[in-house]
Amino acid sequence: MKQISVVGVGYVGLVTAACFSDLGNRVIALDVDEQRVSNLRKGVMPIYEPGLEELVERNVAAGRLTFTTSYEEALKGSEFVFICVGTPSGVEGEADLKYVEAAARTIAKTMTAPLIVINKSTVPVGTGDWVAEIIHEARPKPMDFWVVSCPEFLREGAAISDFMNPHRTVLGSTSREAADKVAQLHLPLRSPIVITDLRTAEMIKYASNAFLATKISFINEIADVCESLGADVKEVAAGMGFDARIGKYFLDAGLGYGGSCFPKDVKALAYMAEDMGLEPQILNAVMRVNGVRRMMIVDKVRDLMGGISGKTVGILGLAFKPNTDDMRDAPSIDIAKALIEGGATVRAFDPVAMEVAKGEMPKVEMMPDAYAVAKDADALIIVTEWNEFKHLDLERIRDSMREAVLLDGRNIYQPEQIKDLGFRYRGVGRGYNGSADSHIKTEVKVQPNAV
């Protein structure tokens, strides 16, 4: 059993603390927000993440996981401290490192024994060296420490599974011994471990997220071409995905990416490139393509109804993705704002994000379920692909609406079935949106081996 401190109990920090404690370590999770720590001690989670509440409760009850606001308490006896604080975007897209700096300085002033400091937050390339300088200068007296970069690759909605079953663990340090000790913490996960230098590890995180964002923007641009030419982007993506060089993931056309990672990380990487005198042409294109996706669906509503002024439009799904209540850079915010500015009345439902969403969209009426959203509405927009929306009673939805107009921003429905129900329906990049008169479902047939 190792003793680990985690600074910051936001999304990454709380998942990291809970999972490491579940692996048998003693973990002390620290946050300067007294209310958040008080709530966690009572079992109240600051975020929604499937399985997290149960994981925290189990390890608190076992005595492996505790919460504190005291650096002295957190660091006493700890061999490792993970920095998991926020790094929001600055004015020009640069990462704001004020919380990282505050954590590093306080760690330096508080540490009483040699310590391995691990950057888990997503930080610009070079931050590991900078953190080492801060700790070196802020120590009251000489004391050994080592800085290791261990970027997180957690998907909201699947964070616990991603932590416990990672594709890889990336570690970077100027000390191989320190990196090996952090690797030992991750050995129970039985995943590949990549050990490199600090700056390379930091770049791996940015490059990974930027590439995934690029796939999303690419398929969205292809969706627009498909829509113009009468092809179906879902089947195009399926056909592409069988190629192992391409892969099937992150090829879902729709409203673009949002959340706390992709927008921030692509901007930050582009900023770093420009700061070095480079021109990040692909990254800038990725952001441009993503930036127009949200208004695309508003334009579709306007075109189908001949305008939106005086209309009632329902939004199904508010969080930026399913299985989370995260509203950071959620497409629903921009869509609702544009509809309201166009003179529409907007109502919405989300299974878990409505309390968070109220502060982001005070002019939107929150409804108890999808059927209440649909009642007397002129149009519905699917914004977040929650599973429960895939199994709605669509005949009931249709009959309760003033106009049966359905905009499928996530392509969760089969166009033919919805049109047969009497809806005026539009998805994203589906061939029927163009001039094609028919649509044949693509089939995949595997031929038996020849004898």
- Domain 231-433, architecture per CATH: 3-Layer(aba) Sandwich (3.40)
Beta strand 365-366 with 345-349 is: parallel
Active-site position among 19, 84, 226, 261: 261
3-state secondary structure 370-421: HHHHHCCCCEEEECCCCHHHHHCCHHHHHHHCCCCEEEECCCCCCHHHHHHC
The pLDDT of residue 7: 98
**Predicted local confidence at residue 451, as pLDDT:** 40
pLDDT in tens, 127-147: 999 999 999 999 999 999 999
Q: What are the residues whose beta carbons fall under 8 Å from the beta carbon of 79, sequence distance 6 or more?
A: 2, 3, 4, 115, 116, 181
Distance CA 117, CA 80 (A): 6
Cβ(309)–Cβ(301) below 8 Å = no
Specify the pLDDT at position 449. Answer: 53
Predicted local confidence at residue 440, as pLDDT = 53
Q: How confident is the model at residue 438 (pLDDT cuts 50, 70, 90)?
A: very low
Q: What percentage of the chain exceeds 90 in pLDDT? A: 93
| Residue 193, pLDDT score | 98
Nearest to 215 by CA among 259, 167, 266: 266
* Residue appearing with tokens 């791996």: 204
What is the tens place of the pLDDT at every residue in 348-369? 999 999 999 999 999 999 999 9
Q: How far apart are CA 232 and CA 441, in angstroms?
A: 10
Between 446 and 383, whose confidence is greater? 383
Average per-residue pLDDT for the chain:
95
pLDDT of 431 reads: 82
Over the stretch 397-421, which tens digit does the pLDDT of each residue have? 999 999 999 999 999 999 999 999 9
Q: Taking 60 as the threshold, does the pLDDT of residue 441 lie above it? A: no
pLDDT at 445: 62
The model's confidence at residue 94, banded by pLDDT at 50, 70 and 90, is: confident
Query: Mean per-residue pLDDT for 161-171?
Result: 97
Residue 436 scores a pLDDT above 70: no
- 229 in Cβ contact with 434 (< 8 Å): yes
Cα radius of gyration (the chain): 24
DSSP three-state, residue 424:
strand
Q: Is the pLDDT of residue 81 over 90?
A: yes
- pLDDT band (50, 70, 90) for residue 90: confident
Q: What is the pLDDT of residue 446?
A: 57
Outline which parts of the chain fall under CATH 3.40.50.720: 3-196, 231-433
Q: Looking at per-residue confidence, does 33 or 433 come out higher?
A: 33
Tokens of 227: 């829509």
Beta bridge mates, 196: 172
Q: Give the per-residue pLDDT at 447.
A: 59
Going by pLDDT thresholds of 50, 70 and 90, the confidence category of residue 112 is very high
3 state SS of 30: strand
Burial per residue of 318-332, b for 16 or more beta-carbon CB atoms within 10 angstroms, e otherwise? bbbbbbbbbbbbbbb
Q: Is the dihedral of CA 152, 99, 325, 36 positive or negative?
A: positive
Q: Is 261 a catalytic residue?
A: yes
Average pLDDT, integer, range 172-184: 98
Domain 3-196 has CATH 3.40.50.720: yes
Q: Using CB atoms within 10 Å of the CB of residue 102, give its burial: 0 to 12 exposed, 13 to 18 middle, 19+ buried.
A: middle
